Amino acid sequence: MTKRESKSEKNVGHLGDDLSDRIVFSHDELKKRCKVFLSKLILNHSPKEISNYLFELMYYINDLKGDKRLDVALKNFDEQWHQNNDVDKSK
């Protein structure tokens, strides 16, 4: 039985569906749920629009947390992401 055929796999749906906001997803399930939305966003908008969108998203998220200034939070996230994904920052 392949992973796709597995009956125990949770249907994570997609953004904009009618699943409850209270359902708890794992990291990978949440990533899968957001992947289609983010892919469409990237394909349907210019790099400038994506940059503006991501800034506004980060600003919104930072307002909810509020523990760090946005540029500091971005710097910390970027350093951690590059370290965890073993990505060369010079590229």
Chain segment 43-74, per-residue pLDDT in tens: 999 999 999 999 998 888 888 777 777 777 77
**Could you tell me which of 31, 26, 33 has the C-alpha nearest to residue 12?**
33
pTM of model > 0.95: no
In the chain, domain spans: 3-85
Cα 18 off chain centre by: 19
Give the single-character DSSP code of 59: H
